[in-house]
Structure 1
Amino acid sequence: MQKPEILDAIQRINTAPRKGSGDFVGAMYDDSSRQGDRPVALVVGINYGQNGTSAGSVGRVSEPLGYAQHVKTITGQDCHTVLWNFYPYLTQEEWCEEVGNSAKEAELLFDGGYDDPFGVFAKLCEELKPEFIVFHGVTCSIPILARVVLPSVRCRCFLARNLSRGVHRASLKELT
């Protein structure tokens, strides 16, 4: 897949119906990805674009985010790297520190975000046809999302700690 096709898909996904309000960061292309015809890796998390970069991320579909190198470490391949927030509104604190596995996290996920987050995820997979999916953020709802969608995903999937802190082999698990 080529970058222009990916950016078009991201634009379509980012218009998915949602409820709530705030700084919105849905899907974003990592501009540190190598160009050309390459496989797509989808990195699924919560709250990327937060921690000082949110102002630059809101409303953009492409930015050098630095996750592509982590994806290469995990998959062994240079990939077009697309990040997607399961919960698309940025919180004030790091997710795991503010709401990790708490009633507040559950309330945010239930009352805000996409009208149909699983439908948005399915559409993203249909459009991008990723060869790899990395679910990252083990202290929040992401492992539950991975468990729910894994039966319908037809590619290699991994569960990792927060990739913004690097790749930790001890906490990396390939899902089957």
Structure 2
Amino acid sequence: MKVKHLLIISGPSAVGKTTLIDDLINKQSKISHRLLKHTPEQLENATICNAINVEKLEHPNIDFLILHYDIYSNFKEGEGFLYLPDLFRSTESIRIITLVTHHRVLVKRTKQRFVYYLFRALIKPSPSKFKKLRLIYSKIKTYQSPTVANAIYERWENFLSEWDVRDHQIIDTTTDSLATTYDSTTARSVLTGVN
């Protein structure tokens, strides 16, 4: 598969990746024109994919791919960030937007997600729903530590540095509105609440 333009919306689970992608596609985002170097027509014709499905894409050539990438779930010890090395090798231009938020906000949002899936599992139980609940619970535990939450972002930054990705923007989603952009050196203050 060859990709001409790759836009990765990245961050841990519950940071706002899906919301941003939906806003961009539905032209709701106030910052979409600042963030993107693509026309509304390109956005409308973009292929949108979650990282776990990228290998299932059937098109040999994709003009514009928007990739939803969870930097927590898609990292495996010993393997690194899944799916990306092959994709990076076959892409002409790469742009990455990483969403950050305070670790307490991640915990709050993930707990809300846990309650939602708990109700779904209680209404119609299945092994896959209980597996999802265990995964969400492990994320809550992970996000409770600002040190561990920060380590997730540091690992991501190191990966991008290794691949010499230069078109990378960081956006603070702490207030539930995508308003503030940061470079990677100031993003850590968002996670810990230290200015």
- TM bin, normalised by shorter chain, reads 0.3 to 0.5
TM normalised by structure 1 equals 0.42
Which structure has the bigger radius of gyration?
2
The structure with more helix, counted as a fraction of residues: 2
